[in-house]
Structure 1
Amino acid sequence: MKPKDQNYSKSRRLKNQIKAVVTNPYNLIVLIAIVLLTYLIVFPLLDMISTSFTLAQKDARLAGGTAGSFTLYYWQRLLGSALTKQMLLQPLLNSLLIGVCVSFFAILIGSVLAWLMVRTDLPFKPFFSLAVIIPYMIPSWCKSQAWLTMFKTERIGGAPGFLMSLGINIPDWLAYGPVAIITVLSLHYYAYAYLLVSAALNSINSELEEMGEIQGAGKATILRKITFPLVLPAMLSAVILTFSKAIGTFGVINYLGSKVNFVTLSSQLYMNSKSQNTQTAFAMALIMICIASISVFVNQKLIGSRKSYATIGGKGGRSTPIRLGKHKLLITAVLFLFFVFGIIMPIALLILESFMLREGDYSLSNLTLHYWIGNPIATVMEGQPGIFKNANFINSLINSLKLTFVNGVFGTIFGQIIGYICAKGRGKLHGKVVEQLVFIPYLIPSIAFGGIFLSMFSAPQQLFGVTLVPSLYGTFALLTITSVVKHLPFASRAGTSNMLQIGGELEEAAEIAGAGFFKRFIRIVFPLSKGGFISGFMLIFVSIMKELDLIILLMTPKTSTLPYLAFQYQNSNSPQASDCVAIVMFSIVFLVYALANIFGDADLAKSMGG
């Protein structure tokens, strides 16, 4: 063959290869996903880093520089000044205290409950299986309200709580501060540990434990030598999830810590953001991201790079429950008491307080429907009517329903698509890139994440003088984008877990039969992933319906949601109105979950990647 023909052959082959790549719909979807994830995740993170090193106009004279120039002023002020202890060290120590203690107690409670539910002959399992995940549906700040209703003291809270009204003297350290915060968050986040550990336990063949029993090992030895090592990856994943969420929480800290000046990094971040100290707030957020990244790195070193639990021994073996024997009655009674005091009583207290005209007065004469359906009274609730006659509540309810359904649908669709890419690209470069990109929002504290998107989209996004994205400040679109991107790690994990269960041979057979990519995806992949789709939708729906930390900096009167309205009522000394809003919100979440569970076989464990 002549050299000219050889060159033509090579160029033609290269052209055909490029054409094959470009015209393949899967490759286009991967490319679009990487571009969008880079724009919505990497760029905001880089903008946060850049902003923390950029001198603001209001600080130019004090720092002795020019506005917009590079500076270490904010980092020096945070890390090496007279204000370091107040601004960083004390809040950091408080955050670590909360994170470590909550992780320990939440994992302990969740793992024990998971073992009892999955591996033993515990009675009333249908009841307990529902009761155990109810805390996940109730916002943590709602539990804070219930805690205050029970333990509040006149010395700090003004009106007495339920116990003080009975003549029981409650110490301030129990009503407010780290003990209250750790208790409330532990009773909230144990649901994460339960979902992850129970999924791992369900994957273990009970024959492994039975073989140990045949060899003469006791229950304690079997738990320590067989069961515990097998569920350790799931437990460590739950630790990381709980720790990162605990150090980034704001609502509970505000409710139970602000009155006693218990400050964490998240509350400092909020105060700096509201005071327009954006650079300092972003520097704090980067420190929180580093802490979360270190914890993830340690987790990966302990259990390897695998992020999901691999079934050991298959799922074809028998699952024989362990007999609780003479301890069954005692354990069942303890569980009932745990759910009564940890779940039923907080909800009952919120309901009771919502019917009280004056806070702290538990007499029958003080019961009223005013905060539900009452007309305006000048001396009550700042002259506003009850929530069902209140325009602010109706607006917030509509906004919350729109936000949850829109984000639930779009977030789940994007999660399934990204999960499809990660599943099909497992072990390949593009799969790893997408998986790492979508994991970044998990590391960013919710309140900081909201601040990043507020800063990024407050002004129009331009390229070469052309406006690509207009200013989104105060719009529903900004809430939607922020919420979808923040919840992508969970949505994509649910999608990946879902797609890995669909055999590749099904698509291959359809492709041989002449079905195109989109037809295969719509007719084969999507129907088979329906159960995981509904579970992913429920995870996003529940998370966004109760979300406060993520959107608190984005709120305007026009875009107010139910959690933010409850937060406003609580801060304006109308806890009864806040309770009413919380009860409505929980009722919506529980109703939607029940319907999804009945008609769609929703399973939150699938959403957690279990």
Structure 2
Amino acid sequence: MAPALQPLRHGARSLPGRAGHSAETASADASDRAPPDATQDRRGSGLPCRCRPRDERGRRGRGLAPRDSRRARKHLVAQATATERPSLWERIAPRDLLQPRNLIILVVVVVIAYLAIVPLAYLLWGTFFDENGLTLRFFEEAYDQIPLNVLLANSFTFAIGSTVLAVTLGTTLAYLQARTDVPFKRLIFAASLVPLIIPGILHTIAWILLFSPEIGVFNAWLEPIFGPRAFNIYSMQGMILIEGLHLSPLVFLLMSAAFHSMDPSLEESALMSGAPMRTVARRITLPLVLPALSASILVMMVRVLESFEVAAIVGRQARIPVFVSRIFD
């Protein structure tokens, strides 16, 4: 059978094209088998390509560059927002103002404004006006007898000295209470709140009873050793001591919160790496507590400049005028 079929195979190769199979059909078959054109869609032949060249993808219908088209869209959005957003008075209905919450807020704002604006108005009126009208004679009377440079020097010496004492003492106690194993931590924290409860005038009188040159208890005890009047509370040093000790608990509370919020693993890692304690304090501890320390210094400076008890009771007796005592006089 195999030798008999061989002529048929050779004949099939030499057969002419059958009817219906023309050159156009052959060419169509060849085109079907050809790879698709780059402009045709891969998902089907004959469909237009939706992809764009990379340099034209950012362009829109008007032929704008990508940056220009983004600016145009932002401009349109801004215009639509400005035209569509209602004003504040349009959004607030009259009935919304009568709600209990809004009424309470309105009453609180009115009370606070009255308590703040009325005293300030009386102060400005009494400063710049008298029975004859507008005047500046009160400033002349205030700064005529005592030069302004003396008041500035005394006020800032008192403020800087008290701030340094309060910040140093309060920061040291806060560090010992928060970052060390000293005993009685809770007692130290509770005792720091006691000076904040005592009024400033009582605190000042208590120190006068202890270190007064005439009736001071400590001066009586120290007289056999150092002689009479070992420490005079009626001096700039006495004023700084009283005010600095009175404000140190406030610094303690501020710095204690800062030390408690720190991560102790940073200091422990530095110590385990061989860094000395002063380097750890300078490179790690101080930068972490610097915001709280700066706030404490600012608050203490303002509190000392506006304090009245020490300046009025001790400063006037010691003949050390500051701005507060001079305004009172």
Q: Quick check: TM above 0.5?
A: yes
* Deviation at residue 219 of structure 1 after TM alignment: 2.4
Give the aligned residue type for 1:210.
E
* Deviation at residue 249 of structure 1 after TM alignment: 2.1
SS in 1 for 2:129: coil
Tell me which residue corresponds to 1:44: 119
* Deviation at residue 178 of structure 1 after TM alignment: 0.7
Equivalent residues in 2 for 1:220-231 (5 A)? 220-231=278-289
Tell me which residue corresponds to 2:252: 194
Give the aligned residue type for 1:74.
F
The 1-side partners of 2:216 and 2:192 are apart by: 30
The 1-side partners of 2:208 and 2:97 are apart by: 60
- What RMSD in Å do the two structures reach over aligned CA positions? 3.1
Matching residue within 38, 56, 72 for 2:136: 72
Tell me which residue corresponds to 1:113: 173
Tell me which residue corresponds to 1:163: 219
Tell me which residue corresponds to 1:204: 262
Matching residue within 87, 92, 97 for 2:157: 97
The 2-side partners of 1:30 and 1:228 are apart by: 42
* Deviation at residue 242 of structure 1 after TM alignment: 1.8
Equivalent residues in 2 for 1:165-564 (5 A)? 166-167=223-224, 168-171=226-229, 174-271=232-329
Q: 1:146 to 1:211 in 2, by over 3 A?
A: same
The 2-side partners of 1:193 and 1:43 are apart by: 33
The 1-side partners of 2:317 and 2:230 are apart by: 10
Q: How many residue pairs end up in the alignment?
A: 243
* Deviation at residue 191 of structure 1 after TM alignment: 0.4
Structure 1, residues 148-207: CA drift from partner, whole Å, max 9, x if none?
Answer: 333332xxx3x5644336534244763321111111111111001001111122222223
The 2-side partners of 1:14 and 1:185 are apart by: 51
Equivalent residues in 2 for 1:571-582 (5 A)? none
For the Cα contact (< 8 Å) 1:95–1:265, is it kept in 2? yes
Tell me which residue corresponds to 1:431: none
Q: 1:206 to 1:22 in 2, by over 3 A?
A: same
Structure 1, residues 243-296: CA drift from partner, whole Å, max 9, x if none?
Answer: 22222222223433333322222222222xxxxxxxxxxxxxxxxxxxxxxxxx
Give the aligned residue type for 1:30.
I
Tell me which residue corresponds to 1:516: none
Tell me which residue corresponds to 1:83: 145
Q: 1:91 to 1:22 in 2, by over 3 A?
A: same
* Deviation at residue 118 of structure 1 after TM alignment: 0.7
Structure 1, residues 24-83: CA drift from partner, whole Å, max 9, x if none?
Answer: 54444433333322221134223322331102x3xxxxxxxxx2x11222234445xx43
Tell me which residue corresponds to 2:38: none
The 1-side partners of 2:206 and 2:113 are apart by: 41
Q: 1:220 to 1:52 in 2, by over 3 A?
A: same
Structure 1, residues 196-243: CA drift from partner, whole Å, max 9, x if none?
Answer: 111122222223333433443332222222222222222222222222
Q: Are 2:201 and 1:126 aligned?
A: no
For the Cα contact (< 8 Å) 2:235–2:318, is it kept in 1? yes
Tell me which residue corresponds to 1:32: 107
The 2-side partners of 1:139 and 1:92 are apart by: 27
Q: Percent identity?
A: 27
For the Cα contact (< 8 Å) 1:100–1:243, is it kept in 2? yes
Q: Which has the larger radius of gyration?
A: 2
Matching residue within 133, 141, 166 for 2:201: 141
Give the aligned residue type for 2:145.
L
SS in 2 for 1:174: coil
* Deviation at residue 21 of structure 1 after TM alignment: 4.3
Q: 1:204 to 1:259 in 2, by over 3 A?
A: same
SS in 1 for 2:134: coil
**Structure 1 spans left out of the alignment, 5+ residues:** 1-9, 58-66, 272-610
The more displaced of 111-120 and 22-31 is 22-31
For the Cα contact (< 8 Å) 2:219–2:230, is it kept in 1? no
For the Cα contact (< 8 Å) 2:175–2:256, is it kept in 1? yes
The more displaced of 205-214 and 181-190 is 205-214
Q: 1:38 to 1:146 in 2, by over 3 A?
A: closer
Give the aligned residue type for 1:51.
G
Q: 1:36 to 1:133 in 2, by over 3 A?
A: closer
SS in 2 for 1:175: coil
Give the aligned residue type for 2:128.
F
The 2-side partners of 1:129 and 1:247 are apart by: 27
TM-score, length-normalised on structure 2?
0.64
Structure 1, residues 88-138: CA drift from partner, whole Å, max 9, x if none?
Answer: 443332222111110111001101111110111222212322233333233
Q: 1:150 to 1:169 in 2, by over 3 A?
A: farther
TM-score, length-normalised on structure 1?
0.36
